[in-house]
Structure 1
Amino acid sequence: MSIRTILLAAAAVAVSAVSSPAVSKETYTLRLAETWGPNSPILGETTRHFEEMAETMSGGRLQIRIDSSNKHKAPFGIFDLVRHGQYDMGHTASYYYKGTIPNAMYFTTVPFGMLAPEQYAWFYYGGGMELMQKVYEPSRAAIPAIRWVAGSTRRSTPWKT
């Protein structure tokens, strides 16, 4: 091996050690409108947790700005705020929009009687998501990405008749 080859190799190693890939440091802010008030237990906390997770997972590059109903003044108009581009996303319940999309309400409260894991199984593996896409498609609205289930509507004790 010649001195020239060794010097070129050393120079290449030195240059590669000091150069870093071009990584964008740009931050992105998405606006989220929610039906709930800013201090609403559970539902408001869920939105704040989502905001924190997005920021942490993106290394601070993705910011979520949450506007509660006291700011946007349309607690039951989240669907239209998002559909018309005033917000990037929304946190609401689909049964509020039965006048706009009548069948959308079923994706918040139905099917009755299932436990949360059973509802998730129906939604993700039993055709529920595909059914939701058919329901929302005519409005050209974004399909909800996350289906949150509060729990079961089943009684823990049998009815006595």
Structure 2
Amino acid sequence: MWTYVFIAVVVALAIAPLLHFLPTSTQRRQAALREEAALAGLFVEFRDLPGYGPRLERMSRSERQVVYYGARLAAAADRGRRRQSWWRVDDTWRGGPQRLLPLPPALEDLPSSVLAASVDNNSCGIYWRETGDTGDVGRIIRCVTVWRSDLADG
């Protein structure tokens, strides 16, 4: 009898460190959000928030580094496109320091958890901290997909 208890304790001690590698519920939720975006054709990566120097210098690295959900743009469609960004400040969108373009209409329906949006020669997309749910990801997918189509149509 004690032999079986001893074996059970040894097995439990051997398995316990492995439990540390199981994902938490937050990690599983983030993975589900990223998978949904990837299956819809968006790419997901960590990026610094877009912006000009003085604004970013006031932020710590952890504040600047957020998740970017983006759509790649066709190389043929990038002629004449300039880098532009918009930030959400108190539920109002504001353009970058150069204020070249107004907020694209496709982005007006973005969830309030989205921090910023940007476009450059390679991609268009949004920046957020993944604080929403799958409904928010669905809205982001629709907005970014429409935006990519609008940019391709010129």
Give me the TM-score of the superposition, normalised by structure 1.
0.28
Higher RCO (CA-CA < 8 Å; seq separation 6+): 2
- Flag the structure with higher strand content: 2
Give me the TM-score of the superposition, normalised by structure 2.
0.29
